[in-house]
A and B are shown apart, each in its own frame.
Chain A
Amino acid sequence: MHELLADQAVAVEAGLTRLSHVRPGDRGVIVDVRADHATGHGVDVHELERRLLEFGFVEGAAFEIIHQGLFGADPIAVRLDDMRVALRRRDAEDVWVRLDAK
Chain B
Amino acid sequence: MSEAAIRPARVALVGNPNTGKTALFNALTGARQKVANYAGVTVERKEGFLTTPGGRSLSILDLPGTYSLRARSPDEAVTRDAVLGRLAGEVEPDVVVAVADATNLRLVLRLILELKAVGRPMVLALNMYDIAQRQGLRIDLEGLQRELGCPIVTTVATRKRGIQELTAKVDELIASGALSTANVWHEPSAAEIRGAHREAQRILKAYVRPPEHPDTFTGKVDAVLLHPVAGLAILLTLLFVMFQAVFAWAAPLMDGIDAGFAWLGAMVGQVLPNGLIKDFIADGVIAGVGSVLVFLPQILILFFFIILLEDFGYMARAAFLMDKIMGGAGLHGRAFIPLLSSFACAIPGIMAARVIDQKRDRMTTILVAPLMTCSARIPVYTLIISAFIPNRIVGPGLNLQGLVMFGLYAAGIISALAVSFVIRKVFWRGAVEPFLMELPTYKLPSFENVFRNLLLRAQIFLNRAGRIILPLMVAVWVLSTFPGPPPGATEPAIDYSFAGMIGQAIQPIFAPIGFNWQMVVALIPGFAAREVAVAALGTVYAVGDAEANVGALGARLAQHWSLATGLSFLAWYVFAPQCAATLGVVKRETNSWAWTGVMFAYMTTLAYLASLVVYHSAVALGGG
Contacts and interface: CB of A to CB of B under 8 A. Distances in A.
Interface residues of B, number: 48
B68 A58 contact: no
B226 interface: yes
B214 A69 contact: no
Contact of A91 (B222, B229, B431, B435): B435
Given A50-B193, A53-B194, A82-B103, A67 B222 contact: yes
B446 interface: no
Interface string B434-473: 1111111000000000000000000000000000000000
Given A69-B320, A69-B323, A55 B106 contact: no
A23 interface: no
Interface in B211-233: 214, 218-219, 222, 226-229, 232
Contact of B190 (A40, A46, A74): A46
B193 to A, nearest CB: 4
Contacts of B431: 42
A69 B228 contact: yes
B437 A82 contact: no
A70 B229 contact: yes
Contact of B433 (A43, A46, A86): A43
Given A51-B436, A58-B197, A87-B435, A82 B320 contact: no
A70 B227 CA distance: 8
Interface string A67-81: 111111011010001
B138 interface: no
Contacts, number: 122
B228 A53 contact: no
A87 to B, nearest CB: 5
Contacts of B435: 75, 86-88, 91
B118 interface: no
B67 interface: yes
Contacts of B324: 69-72, 74-75
Interface string B54-70: 00000000000001101
B213 to A, nearest CB: 13
Which bucket holds chain A's interface residue count? 35 or more
A83 interface: yes
Nearest to A83: B104
B107 A56 contact: yes
Contacts of A69: 228, 320-321, 323-324
A39 B226 CA distance: 30
A81 B387 CA distance: 64
Contacts of B68: 54
B436 A68 contact: no
B28 to A, nearest CB: 26
18 contacts: A43-B434, A49-B190, A50-B188, A50-B189, A50-B193, A53-B190, A58-B193, A67-B226, A67-B227, A70-B321, A74-B324, A81-B106, A84-B439, A85-B436, A86-B319, A86-B323, A86-B435, A88-B327
Given A55-B436, A85-B437, A88-B323, 18 more contacts: A41-B432, A43-B433, A43-B434, A50-B70, A50-B189, A50-B193, A53-B190, A53-B193, A53-B197, A54-B68, A54-B193, A55-B67, A55-B438, A70-B321, A86-B323, A86-B436, A86-B437, A91-B434
Pairs A-B, 4 closest by C-beta atoms: A42-B431, A70-B228, A84-B439, A67-B226
